[in-house]
Amino acid sequence: MEAYTEPYGLLGKQTVDAAQALKSLQEELEAINFYNQRAGTCTNEDLKRIMAHNRDEEIEHAAMLIGWLKVYMDGWDKEIGDYVVNAQAGNMGVDGGEDVPEESSGDQGLGIGKL
């Protein structure tokens, strides 16, 4: 399976489950993009509504997978809290708005938080 970059036999069950969830999330996001573009370009209003409905179903699937990752894969819970739950337009935590810690004040990092 192309989702694995390391030998399958060396991967633990939790790692395999996470790989499946991440691959499924990738597929859901791709489907959201396809349906969103189609909904945005349809000239027939009935077809536009169907494409928007399909997009919204895929968003639900993606959200379910993100919820699974939040519970079962380390790191997601904190980052969802930091960047999803508290998201606001104009303050997405990427470019500024965050104080630079003193110990890294000379660092010219990416400005996307601690990596």
- pLDDT (0 to 100) of residue 96: 52
Task: Summarize pLDDT for 14-62 with one digit per residue, the tens.
Answer: 999 999 999 999 999 999 999 999 999 999 999 999 999 999 999 999 9
CA gap 21, 62 in Å, rounded: 10
**Residue among 24, 26, 20, 25 at smallest CA distance from 8:** 20
Q: What is the pLDDT of residues 76-109, one digit of tens each?
A: 999 998 888 888 888 876 655 444 444 444 555 5
Q: What is the pLDDT of residue 90?
A: 85
Distance CA 93, CA 97 (A): 7
Give the pair of three-digit tokens for residue 71.
């519970």
Predicted pLDDT of residue 95: 55
Q: What does the pLDDT read at residue 100?
A: 45
C-beta separation of 62 from 28 below 8 A: yes
**CA 63 to CA 37: how far, in whole Å?**
19
Q: Which amino acid appears at position 19 of this protein?
A: A
